[in-house]
């Protein structure tokens, strides 16, 4: 499992690096695009060891983040939501993550 997390972290880091190179300079308080929000949420999920980032999908449209997938516990589900809410540019989070049977 740690190998998958490592690969996921590398993929997210590469995406962040690529996005940073292509991003235009933004002033504070300006609109953050949905792709950047999704990438940042995914990166923060990978960083948090209490969340199985491989099991949670993230989609963003107009600043609204939708989480889906499976969580092991109610705490993991709420942690994923809290992580997403703290990302700059996120307006709302719809948490559709289900609990594993």
Q: Which domains does the chain have, with CATH numbers?
A: 2-99 (3.30.300)
Task: Name the nearest CA neighbour of 94 among 52, 59, 44.
Answer: 59
**pLDDT, position 4:** 59
**pLDDT, position 24:** 42
Q: Which residues of the chain have pLDDT under 50?
A: 18, 21-30
């Amino acid at each position: 499992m740690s190998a998958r997390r490592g690969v996921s972290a590398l993929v997210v880091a590469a995406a962040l690096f690529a996005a940073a190179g292509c991003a235009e300079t933004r002033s504070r308080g300006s609109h953050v695009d949905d792709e950047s929000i999704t990438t940042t949420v995914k990166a923060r999920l990978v960083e948090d060891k209490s969340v199985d980032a491989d099991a949670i999908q993230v989609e963003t449209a107009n600043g609204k983040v939708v989480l889906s997938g499976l969580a092991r516990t109610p705490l993991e589900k709420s942690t994923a939501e809290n992580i997403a809410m703290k990302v700059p540019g996120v307006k709302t989070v719809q948490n559709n993550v289900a609990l594993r049977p």
